Structure 1
Amino acid sequence: MSKPASASAPLAERLRPHSLAEVIGQQHLLGEGMPLRIAFESGQPHSCILWGPPGTGKTTIARLMASAFDAQFITISAVLGGVKDIREAVEQAQIAQAHDRRTIVFVDEVHRFNKSQQDAFLPHVESGLFTFIGATTENPSFEVNSALLSRAAVYVLQPLSEDDLKQIVQRAQAIDAVPPIEDKAVERLIAYADGDARRLLNTLETLAVAATKEKRSEIDDAWLLRVLGERMRRYDKGGEQFYDTISALHKSMRGSDPDATLYWFVRMLDGGADPRYIARRMVRMAVEDVGLADPRALRLALDAAEVYERLGSPEGELALAECLVYLAVAPKSNAVYTAYNEAKALVRRDGTRPVPLHLRNAPTRLMKDLGYGKEYRYAHAEEGGFAAGETYFPEGMKPPQFYRPVERGLEIKIGEKLRDLRERNAQVRPPKPGTNP
């Protein structure tokens, strides 16, 4: 087991857990009977990828694994490293193997390595020369080679909860790393950390230095705001102001005001909002508020999000701004959003009606003999590609009309098309009393 860090070490290092019992958070992986706990207790390390946001304990878990298995621990940063570092790690692992000692190679930000660099680990992972542990903030399904992915278990780490972060504050106070902090200031710190233990610890360290210089015996909310500056004052991520601001952005877009939309967008960026969060909300805006009045909006929102991922800040923010202006000036329709909610409500309260025989699949002879698929009309073979008069709802069910296109944008044409199809249905299948035409 590693020794506790000295008093001069950074706070994050002084509070780094030295056993599983000291780890805060990630109990879905490290609790009794959970996957990583079982791996630790098995005595046999295995290659894995730790996927989660910053400050959730990926490096800590990797270090603890090395300590638990008495293994040599080699760290490679994919941001700064390359094939040379991989070769050096292989050489060190071979030396350790010659002395009957295991090696764990930990690759931080593994998604930054290209395909050939990731492939360089494969033969050594397969031979058992070392155990590979990769840490990534990006989805490994897209960022890690399938060959490497198939040889490593993927564990998903979650942002730390408010209770988890409060425990970290308490531990920092227990070793006298920071003065006492009033409750309101603790709540603001936790909201600012946003599930990131590293951000919380770095902030606590900043406060401790400032408090020592000013000979303060307590940290209150007013002093906290003064020390950490305008960013924390203007934008309390996760708090009421955050949700008020994103609400204003969304409603400005829905109200077709591009200038107000840009204003609230810049306010969020200026306050420290993660542009990725705004990008996700833009995709939601495209499907909820623009919808089929302009289906291009969804594609543009996805493209803008991808551009930001490629360019980052500040260059990628322009793509988000361009998309927000497009969404604001686009024709609006929530018809699909409303239809979807109505369909969900109906299915929730309605019984499980059987699928009509003519709509059932008939892959076997028995099913065909039972009438599955019988009398189904193949729409492509009908005039105009439409089986006029055909019914697609369960028998005895009054056909609901969930989707009602608005008279804006592309939905004008969609509405005209649906009215034409309903007229053709009515000519072949006169509506029964009490049903919608």
Structure 2
Amino acid sequence: MGYVADRWHKTRPNPGEPECGQHKGMVASAAHGKGKRWQARYDDPNGREVTSLWATKAEAEREITKQEAAKSTGSWLDPKAGRVTVERFALDTWLPAQSINERSVTEYKGAITRYLIPEWGQREMRSIKPSEAGAWQQSLTVKYGLSGVYPNRVARYVRSLFKLAVIDRVIHVSPFDGIKAPILVESVVHPPDVAEVRQIIAAAYKPLWGALFELAALTGLRSGEIRGLTVNRIDWLRRVIRVDRQLVQAKGVSTMEFDDLKSGAGRRDLPITQRAVDLLAAHIAAHPSPTDGQWAGMVFTLPGGKPIQTSTLDWALKNTCTKAGAQPRHMHDFRHHYASVLIGGGENPKVVQRRLGHKDVMTTLRTYAHLFAEAEQKTRDVLDAAWAEPGETVGDAELSETGGRIPESRPGSGVVAQLRA
């Protein structure tokens, strides 16, 4: 149990010491008249003494009562914890606590350094008010000119910083509680269809690029994941690719290295089709993988067994699209194509999420919302066709007396037309 101490007077005065001139029956201490007189003392949940100064004895007693009650209910916070600055908590506590790879650490730290520390870096964590939190989020677009997904992304980092401060009992409540995050503006993706992907593959000026583009479309692998693929990560019998790392450019240099995926969700066993298996087998047979050294077993390499850099692959795809007469595409467009095929086939969003290695299903739903909407229409068409009476028109199809669908008389490539196939 805590107690209140009188700083201005000695608890055990020596015999013969003069009486305090202001307070009868007491002996003045060296601190008499300096600062606040009353000191509240109590032990924190770990047994360490915590002290605070108060002008009156009643205030000190109320403080002890409040802190003892907080300890008993499990809601106690160290009064000094909230005094840590935003910068120190962000860099010394929050950033090391993130389960991310080195490249993501650089990204997170860059966002904090550019947009948070200049505003609140030297402020105490406990001093940030909800009104300031809302104004700071507005500044991301108004002052810093961020757009698209970036205001939401940066705000998400900072909101998680204050959430961790609450969990660590540095502050009672986050200033962002009740403040809506910036709207996440996802750019609408327009994936290439199968015909366009075939067109690009056919125009590839090297078999290496044709095989790599086709595998990207068949698996949805990211550029770094497919460039870093090694033979020992292909399970030929089960038709599965183990995705657990990626090829990246080393920080500050032009050399390549293997690195962890951005999140644990990226680690996955990816089922592949027989077409993909045959493609890989044919490519490896025609272009054997290096047998030793750092890149031993790598499936896709340049002459001499060298790894493929991002810029080299981007250049190859750009020139291939030009040669094919197709619109300019990026490697990520093959990933979007893969997702669109799964969604168009009625695959569950959670399955699509796992196949793509997204951190959560909301990322998948936000990115491909319009494609899921198209899949919803396919569901309606299927149900309409199943429940229609003979002779009734379903969309642009008519059912026969036996319940079969009569092919349309005009050409079409819509969802209903695909159902007739």
Judging by fraction of residues, say which structure has more helix.
1
With structure 1 as the length reference, what TM-score do the two structures score? Answer: 0.24
TM-score by length of 2: 0.25
